[in-house]
Amino acid sequence: MSSTKYILGLFDDPDEMMHGIDELQKNSIPIYDVYTPMPIHGIERKLGIKESRLGYAAFMFGCLGGTTIFSMAYYMLVHDWPMNIGGKPAFAIPDFVPITFEWTVLFTAFGMTATFFYATHLFPGRTPRVMDLRATDDRFVIAIDAKGNIPHEDITNLLKKAGAVEVKHNDRKYVSYE
Amino acid sequence: MAAHSESIIREPLITGKDITYAKITNDILRPVENMPGRAWWIGFTIASLGASLWVFAVSWTFWYGIGEWGLNKTVGWAWDITGFVWWVGIGHAGTLISAILLLFRQNWRNSINRSAEAMTIFAVICAATYVVSHMGRPWLAYWPLPLPNQFGSIWVNFNSPLVWDVFAISTYFSVSLVFWYTGLLPDLATIRDRATGIRRKIYSVCSFGWTGSVKTWQRFETVCLILAGISTPLVLSVHTIVSMDFATSLEPGWHTTIFPPYFVAGAIFSGFAMVQTLLLVTRKVLGLENYITMFHIEAMNKIILLTGSIVGVAYLTEFFIAYYSGGEYEQYTFLNRFIGPYWWAGCMMYGCNVLMTQLMWFKKIRTNIPISWVLSIVVNIGMWFERFVIIVTSLHRDFVPSSWAMFYPTWVDMSVFIGSLGVFFTLFLLFIRVFPSIAMAEVKLILKSSSEQAKKKLLQHGGLDQEQVEFYKEALVPFDSVEIADYEKL
């Protein structure tokens, strides 16, 4: 049995890579993942990846931020220590609008980005799990799990025919661990 | 591919021949992966001398107190707040480019957003230093925060625009930082995967383990879009609140309802001027003429013209309202801008901001690099004087003539200001050395649709409206990075 773990099809053009995905799918070869140096629009639908739900997280964090600061202002200026400012009401809602807005934005930004980092496993110092070092530069890489997907030669030929400039048979999943 | 091509009448956003994805990476990372040239070192030396001056002057202020500045009982706010508002305003262009232009799908933002956002962050840092140093007792800088304390607790006054400002500026700074850094991740990963040794380790930590998988990109784009959506009202709110520091007072010349839109327009105006000042030099020194093209320069000049004219309308409105209000004090304040002892500051303000920008109506001027550069500096000088006029000229002749006074800056005032420029340029020069100054991933995104070579392919393919082709060729004439002769053959 061969020691190949992953087969990588390296393309130098995003359109040819999309064509490669089509070819693989036509032949019922499952794709493990695709690594690109830039976002490719329309690829999610092709690979059947669901829409991101980060928008919901952002909305919830925004609600949390707005509620937090508004409650704080209410507690501080109305409940705990109401001040007499020219006899005007302590519960001056219009005056609370700017801070409520600012914290809504603040919580949305930080909460959503933190959720993104958490869900995608991004954090400072995380070991990069890179399959090919040029995938962040100028190569559009389709990765295929070699296990169970045989014969490897057919996959190689398929990728080459679709326009891959190079096909790699990697014995290790990630090349970036040294 | 036909599916990607855009209309021929749009100017190319990437010029040059044989631009590949690899070439984009190489071109943009050249200053990051190589030792800097002499121009960088000269700039860095001057800038860091300025930054040292800033450290000295601010330390002096902390040690001896605000009395070392030229303030007096009548003019209690002067260069410090002028500098603060000036810097915050400059910061606004970065967010406009990264957020508002993203929402409007303006692809030309892709090659200038990174450095403009960096500029935002450094400008807000400069602004924040003014806030801290003008407090007098900077070790109590946490007092505007709503923290429990042993005075009651006595809380901060959320009815006060100064407290709103604390919230606005800190939110603005931190959200801009998150936006900028998230956008940097893919590009830092590019540096990481090309580097070796210790550099690789450092960029590995900084790039958070970015891989560029499909799901990561999808989430990344969602995050960027939503951040753009919330940054847009945020940036408008920040300068609105800064203007309310003045507008909610009872000072003639300050308490006008036009201040929020007027300040926001002025902020974008001065910010774009600063972007122009920086990028015209950066593109030349770093050899990025193919990515920051004449189209970008002209587009920014158009925004300077638009916002400068909005500012002009705001000035006229101010004068009209002062006249129409019938308020004696209001009328005097505005007349005093021209006939008072600070008439020269008023002339600088109106001359630089309104008159000089009107030159931008001429395409010859918009596409002339040296003139654009000089005008961008003129705008920044004018915008500094605008804040000076609003603050000092309004204050120096108050309601009681016996307390009328002039403001004379001391060497500390001047050193803090010149020093803050040093801090800004030091940070910017460090930035272009360690981070990619152009968002590589975003430029790669438009290579197939909006580059000059894609347009050439369209021309070769033929079947285009001849009138549109002529229009396109004519539009390319002012480009300094395009060889017009090539088009004769096509």
Residue A86: which domain range?
54-120
Give me the residue from A103, A108, A128 closest to B210, CB to CB. Answer: A128
Touching check for B106 and chain A: CB below 8 Å? no
CB contact under 8 A, A49 and B218: yes
Beta-bridged to residue A8, according to DSSP, are: A143, A168
Q: Based on the fold, state whether residues A24 and A40 are members of the same structural domain.
A: yes
Q: Based on the fold, state whether residues A60 and A107 are members of the same structural domain.
A: yes
Query: Could you tell me if residue B228 is inside a domain?
Result: yes
Q: What is the amino acid identity at position B217?
A: W
Size of interface A-B (CB pairs under 8 A): 194
pLDDT at B490: 67
CB contact under 8 A, B158 and A47: no
Give the H or E element holding residue B39: helix B38-64
Closest Cα in chain B, distance from residue A38 (Å): 5
Residues of chain B with pLDDT under 50: 1-2
Query: Could you tell me if residue B269 is inside a domain?
Result: yes
Please identify among residues 59-88 of chain A the ones whose CB lies closer than 8 Å to any CB of chain B.
62, 72-73, 76-77, 80-81, 83, 85
Which chain A residues have a beta carbon less than 8 Å from that of B222? 52, 54-55, 116
Query: Could you tell me if residue B196 is inside a domain?
Result: yes
Touching check for B147 and chain A: CB below 8 Å? no
Give me the residue from A34, A76, A128 closest to B146, CB to CB. Answer: A76
Q: What's the CA dihedral at B92, B98, B104, B106 to 10 degrees?
A: 120
Nearest CA to B251 among B67, B77, B71? B77
- Phi, psi of A167, deg, nearest 5: -125, 125
Q: Based on the fold, state whether residues A104 and A66 are members of the same structural domain.
A: yes
Q: Based on the fold, state whether residues A43 and A75 are members of the same structural domain.
A: no
Closest Cα in chain B, distance from residue A152 (Å): 23
In angstroms, rounded to a whole number, what is the distance separating the alpha carbons of residues B388 and A130?
A: 54
Closest Cα in chain B, distance from residue A153 (Å): 25
pLDDT at B1: 40
Structural contact between residues B340 and B253, judged by C-beta atoms closer than 8 angstroms: no
Which chain A residues have a beta carbon less than 8 Å from that of B207? 128
Touching check for B449 and chain A: CB below 8 Å? no
End-to-end CA distance of chain A: 26
> What Cα–Cα distance (Å) separates residue B489 from each residue in B11, B326, B460, B483?
19, 68, 10, 12
State the number of CA atoms in the 13 A half-sphere of A29 facing the CB: 28
Boundary-marking domain end, from A85, A101, A120: A120
Which chain A residues have a beta carbon less than 8 Å from that of B105? none
B310 burial via Cβ count (<10 Å: 0-12, 13-18, 19+): middle
Query: Could you tell me if residue B477 is inside a domain?
Result: no
Q: What predicted TM-score, i.e. pTM, was given to this entire model? A: 0.92
pLDDT at B308: 93
User: Largest Cα–Cα distance of chain B, in whole Å?
Assistant: 82
Please identify among residues 413-442 of chain B the ones whose CB lies closer than 8 Å to any CB of chain A.
440-442
Structural contact between residues B408 and B365, judged by C-beta atoms closer than 8 angstroms: no
pLDDT at B98: 86
Closest Cα in chain A, distance from residue B147 (Å): 10
User: What is the residue whose two structure tokens read 């001057």?
Assistant: B46
Number of H helices, E strands in chain B: 21, 0
> What Cα–Cα distance (Å) separates residue B247 from each residue in A93, B250, B252, B387?
19, 8, 10, 13
pLDDT at B415: 94
- Phi, psi of A88, deg, nearest 5: -80, 155
Q: How many domains does chain A have?
A: 2
Query: Could you tell me if residue A175 is inside a domain?
Result: no
What SS3 state is found at A128? coil
Question: Band of the pLDDT at A41, cuts 50, 70, 90?
Answer: confident
Q: How many domains does chain B have?
A: 1
Closest Cα in chain A, distance from residue B170 (Å): 9
Q: Based on the fold, state whether residues A67 and A103 are members of the same structural domain.
A: yes
DSSP B419-436: HHHHHHHHHHHHHHHHS-
Q: Based on the fold, state whether residues A61 and A115 are members of the same structural domain.
A: yes
pLDDT at A178: 57
Which chain B residues have a beta carbon less than 8 Å from that of A120? 215-216, 219
Touching check for B99 and chain A: CB below 8 Å? no
Closest Cα in chain A, distance from residue B2 (Å): 11
CB contact under 8 A, B230 and A105: yes
CB contact under 8 A, B220 and A96: no
Query: Could you tell me if residue A18 is inside a domain?
Result: yes
Which chain B residues have a beta carbon less than 8 Å from that of A102? 164, 167-168, 171, 234, 237
Closest chain B residue to the Cα of A90, Cα to Cα: B159
Q: What is the pLDDT of residues A91-133, one digit of tens each?
A: 999 999 999 999 999 999 999 999 999 999 999 988 888 888 8
Q: Based on the fold, state whether residues A154 and A115 are members of the same structural domain.
A: no
CB contact under 8 A, B194 and A81: no
Give me the residue from B146, B175, B211 closest to A106, CB to CB. Answer: B175
Which chain A residues have a beta carbon less than 8 Å from that of B211? 35, 128-131, 135
Q: Which residues, other chains included, contact A17 with Cβ-Cβ below 8 Å and sequence gap of 6+? A: A9, A11, A34, A36, A40, A140, A142, A163
Which chain A residues have a beta carbon less than 8 Å from that of B179? 109
Give the H or E element holding residue A140: strand A140-145
In angstroms, rounded to a whole number, what is the distance separating the alpha carbons of residues B204 and B190?
A: 10
Q: Based on the fold, state whether residues A60 and A116 are members of the same structural domain.
A: yes
DSSP B342-376: THHHHHHHHIIIIIGGGGGGSHHHHT-HHHHHHHH
Which chain B residues have a beta carbon less than 8 Å from that of A15? 1, 4, 448
Query: Could you tell me if residue A66 is inside a domain?
Result: yes
Nearest CA to A55 among A138, A139, A112, A126? A112
Which CATH number characterizes residue A32's domain? Answer: 3.30.70
Query: Could you tell me if residue A69 is inside a domain?
Result: yes
Which CATH number characterizes residue B357's domain? Answer: 1.20.1630.10
Please identify among residues 148-167 of chain A the ones whose CB lies closer than 8 Å to any CB of chain B.
none
Query: Could you tell me if residue B481 is inside a domain?
Result: no
Q: What's the CA dihedral at B55, B61, B62, B65 to 10 degrees?
A: 180
Residue B359: which domain range?
48-436
